[in-house]
């Protein structure tokens, strides 16, 4: 319903601007011009608003299918380039939400639990990809090493450092990430 969309949009802006902990339902109500009681009825609590924002954005990205397509590429370099593109799209669309999730997880056990589930799903997807290209890994890089390196290069803090703090374009980030994944994971051609 339109109200939920308006509340989510107002909450997302406030979370990104002032942080999750500092944002009250009252402030969201004021920003969205919707009574706080309506927000409580529609969502229940602040954590539920954040979850609803995350699900909404993540749903538009179709990440699982993109990962399957990436690992199915005949050339493992093409697969890692696609993997870099997945991360770029994900961070472009929802870096702010990921950042707020990490903040909220420090104080909200439900959000912390969500984040563990999301991290486990991410790691599983990366491991499937590394398993699929295991015969192409660089000498000395085991599947476990490959997963750890993959997880490292796609950290939100890496995106933050390059794109948010150092104003790289998301194109440059994607190219850097693709090259870093290829150089660090694969045998030289």
| Positions that interact with a copy of itself (CB under 8 A) | 19, 103, 106, 144, 147-149, 151-152, 155, 157-158, 161-162, 165-166, 168, 176, 180, 183-184
The distance of closest approach from Cβ of residue 155 to a copy of itself in the complex, given in angstroms and rounded to an integer, is: 5
Q: What are phi and psi of 74, to 5 degrees?
A: -65, -40
Question: Rounded distance, CA 149 to CA 143, Å?
Answer: 10
Nearer to a copy of itself, 8 or 147 (CB): 147
Cβ atoms of 181 and 153 within 8 Å: the answer is yes
The distance of closest approach from Cβ of residue 153 to a copy of itself in the complex, given in angstroms and rounded to an integer, is: 9
The distance of closest approach from Cβ of residue 167 to a copy of itself in the complex, given in angstroms and rounded to an integer, is: 9
Report the DSSP beta bridge partners of residue 161.
none
The distance of closest approach from Cβ of residue 148 to a copy of itself in the complex, given in angstroms and rounded to an integer, is: 4
Nearer to a copy of itself, 32 or 115 (CB): 115
Question: Rounded distance, CA 70 to CA 53, Å?
Answer: 26
Question: Rounded distance, CA 62 to CA 87, Å?
Answer: 12
Query: 159, 185, 156, 154: which is closest to 172 by C-alpha?
Result: 159
The distance of closest approach from Cβ of residue 8 to a copy of itself in the complex, given in angstroms and rounded to an integer, is: 24
Cβ atoms of 142 and 135 within 8 Å: the answer is no
Q: What are phi and psi of 186, to 5 degrees?
A: -100, 150
Long-range interactions of 37-40: CB distance < 8 A, separation 24+: 38/3, 39/7
The distance of closest approach from Cβ of residue 189 to a copy of itself in the complex, given in angstroms and rounded to an integer, is: 15
Nearer to a copy of itself, 69 or 165 (CB): 165
């Amino acid at each position: 319903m339109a109200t939920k969309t308006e509340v989510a949009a107002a909450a997302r802006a406030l979370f990104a601007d002032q942080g999750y902990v500092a944002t009250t339902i009252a402030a969201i109500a004021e920003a969205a011009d919707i009574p706080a009681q309506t927000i409580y009825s529609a969502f229940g609590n602040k954590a539920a608003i954040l979850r609803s924002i995350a699900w909404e954005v993540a749903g538009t990205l179709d990440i699982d299918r993109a990962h399957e397509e990436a690992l199915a590429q005949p050339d493992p370099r093409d697969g890692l380039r696609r993997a870099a593109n997945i991360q770029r799209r994900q961070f472009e669309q929802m870096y702010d939400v990921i950042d707020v999730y990490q903040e909220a997880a420090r104080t909200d056990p439900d959000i912390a639990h969500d984040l563990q589930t999301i991290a486990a799903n991410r790691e599983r997807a990366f491991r499937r990809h590394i398993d699929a290209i295991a015969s192409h890994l660089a000498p000395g890089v085991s599947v476990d090493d490959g997963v750890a390196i993959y997880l490292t290069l796609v950290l939100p803090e890496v995106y933050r450092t390059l794109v948010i703090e150092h104003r790289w374009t998301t194109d440059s980030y994607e190219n850097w990430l693709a090259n870093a994944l290829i150089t660090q994971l694969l045998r030289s051609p």
